[in-house]
Amino acid sequence: MSDKSSADILSRRKFLGAAGVAGAGVALGAKSALAEAAKPDPLITEVQDWNRYLGDGVQKTPYGMPSKFEKNVIRRDVSWLTASPESSVNFTPLHELDGIITPSGLCFERHHSGVAEINPADHRLMINGLVDKPLVFTMDDIKRMPRVNKIYFLECAANSGMEWRGAQLNGCQFTHGMVHNVMYTGVTLKTVLDEAGLKPNAKWLMLEGADAAAMNRSLPVEKALDDCLLAFGMNGEALRPEQGYPLRAVIPGWEGNLWVKWIRRIEAGDQPWQTREETSKYTDLLADGRSRKHTFIMDAKSVVTNPSPQAPLKFKGRNVLSGLAWSGRGTVKRVDVTMDGGRNWQTARIDGPVLEKSLVRFYVDFDWNGQELMIQSRAMDSTGYVQPTKDELRKVRGVNSIYHNNGIQTWLVRASGETENVEIG
Amino acid sequence: MSKSVKAASLALLAGAVLATAAPQVHAQQIATQAAVKTSSKLGLGRPALPEEIKAWDTDVRADGKGLPPGKGTVKQGDALFQERCASCHGEFGEGAGRWPVLAGGAGTLTADRPDKTIGSFWPDLSTAFDYIKRAMPYGNARSLTDDEVYAIVAYLLSMNDIVKDENFELSDKNFTSIKMPNATAFFDDDRETSEKQFWKKDPCMKDCRNAPKVTGRAISVDVTPDSKAGPKVD
């Protein structure tokens, strides 16, 4: 290890001395293979079944699934959150994933009237309102347009919303799992709008879904023409039904609710519509009783996914801290990590692609001596925005704004390695 | 030059280039084809017919644009609400079980636990019409006539004390005269000014604070899945 390695810096810092939590090195259950090497390992010395007998043939699973040993890597819901599972949400298992691409089958779901089942041959997209020529497109029409491939995060406006009043849910899947990041294939929204021809007084668009909620939202025309897509593919294949098959809106960096699924209609107008999802919902109530509306952008945010309550530390010595950061305002420039509750910070190592309005993956490789840790991460984006603490956010907004909680998360790693969602003061 | 003449002459030029088919003009040929593409529409899709637009374009804007002709009274709305809505939303819009509360909550927006209903929170009446017509009743959307939607909205106005007379009739004619109590309490996203302090050049890296203490723990709340009880979240 070089002197510059972050691990050495961390282990030398003795950051917890002042926190008064003298972990006396409690023995952990798991031991490394090296420690047990005195006795021959039967997994090596005895021939195993998979080393002797034939495995499955090539067509056993024409569409493959993960190993049965990964059966815990699933979306989970929180039944008390909502009155009905058809207007509800589930959560991406962030603590089980790595890199930046979310597997399609694990992307969190948020529906308002369940998953619409639509044969793409029956799907229509209408453009009407303030356009030169109202049009109807089939999916075949859309697939004849010039295509683009883009990787973006989609974060629900309500991600971490249950945490406004304090630590409530024990696991980053539940506190931060209303986010996913995939590669979309589709056409630019501009391509489709240009076919109809927007009139000069068209300032807003209304996007509408084909599901039973017929979800509708108003979108400023400048954003639509800037970087929005209509996507029919994700991660190289067709959209999953629960992600809007056969067609969805992609509104990079903006709150997930605007990414209308099963999109069937776009109307151009000269002012916003004030739909239910931009008045009753997705408005942010402040302490003085007034509410922000059109809070479209998702601000810079990050979370340490490992260790976390669902992924405790198992080993003393060498460990990998891993996490995700993202910003709706641009690219993630830097992620800092603290292990002593924000007293001292070090800059984490970002590995993998750093793309605009996409998740980035960060790591801190460190040695753990068994002392209690208070782990936090802090993202900075290309605009200079620095992820605030929850208390800093509460000072401006109070605790009733439901949406847009991008406050810094704290994990308490106890001497046993068990990890808890906590708030610190 | 008109658009079509321009497109035709570009097409001719492209044809001439193709005819020469010499390797050295290949780049020019590609450039010419690209020019044809960007200067004209793709020609995909077909015109939307008025009947089709009418079938899907049911949205109603805050200024009343999109309201269909129709009318309904509070009394009519009461009867419809009891039949079509009350099993989830309660007889008076008070909400059954965990289903949404539609009435009441006036003056609670600064309370510790605000009660955000149509009457206490929603800025525009048009939203109620648009939403009920497109998405309610839950599980049987698009099943109400326009007159029924007017009547149900009239009933909700009455349950929220915004109209007092049970004979009040709401219609496309008087719809925009109704003012919602919380109409003026919304303002556009101002984070870039009100939260300007979050754009910090150099966040603290060393000796940034006193020794932290744990002030709250999720395990004491104990509502992580498998538990059925928990706070209400929108």
pLDDT tens by residue, B92-112: 999 999 999 999 999 999 999
Please report the residues numbered 320 through 339 in chain A whose beta carbons come closer than 8 angstroms to any beta carbon of chain B: 336
Tell me what pLDDT residue B19 has: 41
Q: Do B123 and A87 touch (CB under 8 A)?
A: no
The per-residue DSSP string of A199-248 comes to: -TT--EEEEEESSTT--EEEEEHHHHHHH-EEEEEETTEEPPGGGTTT-E
- At residue A350, the 3 state secondary structure works out as strand
Q: Check if A279 contacts B (Cβ < 8 Å).
A: yes
Mean pLDDT, residues A131-154 taken together: 98
Mean pLDDT of chain B: 86
Nearest CA in chain B to A84: B99
User: For chain A, what percent of residues have pLDDT higher than 90?
Assistant: 89
Tell me what pLDDT residue B28 has: 53
Q: What are the residues facing A360 on neighbouring strands? A: A325
Q: Check if A219 contacts B (Cβ < 8 Å).
A: no
Q: How confident is the model at residue B30 (pLDDT cuts 50, 70, 90)?
A: low
Pairing assessment for the beta strands A291-293 and B186-188 based on DSSP bridges: parallel
Residue B177 has pLDDT above 90, yes or no: yes
Q: How confident is the model at residue B9 (pLDDT cuts 50, 70, 90)?
A: very low
Closest alpha carbon to B150 in B78, B85, B77, B83 = B77
Tell me what pLDDT residue A273 has: 98
Residue B211: list chain A partners with CB under 8 A: 18-20, 341, 343
Q: Do B59 and A170 touch (CB under 8 A)?
A: no
Q: What are the residues facing A336 on neighbouring strands? A: A347, A378
Nearest CA in chain B to A338: B205
Tell me what pLDDT residue A83 has: 87
Tell me what pLDDT residue A307 has: 98
CA distances A288 to A155, A285, A339, A395, B196, Å, are 27, 8, 35, 12, 19
Mutate to test the interface with B, among A12, A80, A402 (most CBs of B within 10 A): A80
Residue A233 backbone phi and psi in degrees, to 5: -125, 150
Residue A206 has pLDDT above 90, yes or no: yes
Q: What are the residues facing A237 on neighbouring strands? A: A234
Closest alpha carbon to A378 in A413, A419, A406, A412 = A406
What six digits make up the tokens of B186? 């919304």
pLDDT tens for each residue of B35-64: 545 547 999 999 999 999 999 999 999 999
Mean pLDDT of chain A: 93
Q: Check if A122 contacts B (Cβ < 8 Å).
A: no
Nearest CA in chain A to B122: A280
Q: What is the DSSP letter of A396?
A: H
Residue B207: list chain A partners with CB under 8 A: 343-344
Q: Do B198 and A386 touch (CB under 8 A)?
A: yes
Q: Which of A232-246, A318-332, B36-50 has the lowest mean pLDDT?
A: B36-50
Tell me what pLDDT residue B232 has: 46
User: For chain A, what percent of residues have pLDDT higher than 70?
Assistant: 91
Residue B29 has pLDDT above 50, yes or no: yes
Residue A35 distance to chain B (closest CA, Å): 33
Q: What are the residues facing A293 on neighbouring strands? A: B188
Q: Check if A136 contacts B (Cβ < 8 Å).
A: yes
Tell me what pLDDT residue A9 has: 41
Residue A378: list chain B partners with CB under 8 A: 203
Tell me what pLDDT residue B219 has: 87
Single-letter amino acid, residue A406: N
Residue A54 distance to chain B (closest CA, Å): 40
Q: How confident is the model at residue B231 (pLDDT cuts 50, 70, 90)?
A: very low
Q: Are B133 and B144 in contact (CB under 8 A)?
A: yes
Pairing assessment for the beta strands A204-209 and B46-47 based on DSSP bridges: unpaired
Tell me what pLDDT residue B151 has: 98
Residue B14 has pLDDT above 70, yes or no: no
Nearest CA in chain A to B61: A273
Q: How confident is the model at residue B224 (pLDDT cuts 50, 70, 90)?
A: confident
pLDDT tens for each residue of B63-100: 999 999 999 999 999 999 999 999 999 999 999 999 99
Tell me what pLDDT residue A29 has: 52
pLDDT tens for each residue of A362-404: 999 999 999 999 999 999 999 999 999 999 999 999 999 999 9
Q: Do B186 and A171 touch (CB under 8 A)?
A: no
Nearest CA in chain A to B40: A195
Q: Which of A28-32, A114-118, A260-264, A338-342 has the lowest mean pLDDT?
A: A28-32
Residue B54: list chain A partners with CB under 8 A: none
Residue B225 has pLDDT above 90, yes or no: no
Please report the residues numbered 18 through 37 in chain A whose beta carbons come closer than 8 angstroms to any beta carbon of chain B: 18-20
Tell me what pLDDT residue A194 has: 98
Interchain CB contacts (distance < 8 Å): A and B = 269
Tell me what pLDDT residue B26 has: 55
> Residue A288 burial (CB < 10 Å; 0-12/13-18/19+)?
exposed
Closest alpha carbon to A196 in A120, A126, A272 = A126
Residue A354 has pLDDT above 90, yes or no: yes
Q: Check if A12 contacts B (Cβ < 8 Å).
A: no
Q: How confident is the model at residue A163 (pLDDT cuts 50, 70, 90)?
A: very high
Q: How confident is the model at residue B5 (pLDDT cuts 50, 70, 90)?
A: very low
Q: How confident is the model at residue A13 (pLDDT cuts 50, 70, 90)?
A: very low
Mean pLDDT, residues B183-195 taken together: 98
Nearest CA in chain A to B98: A83
Mutate to test the interface with B, among A175, A198, A274, A421 (most CBs of B within 10 A): A274
Q: Do A421 and B208 touch (CB under 8 A)?
A: no
Q: Do A425 and B212 touch (CB under 8 A)?
A: yes
Q: Say how far apart CA B193 and CA A396 lie, in whole Å.
A: 11
Nearest CA in chain A to B95: A83
Residue A18 has pLDDT above 90, yes or no: no
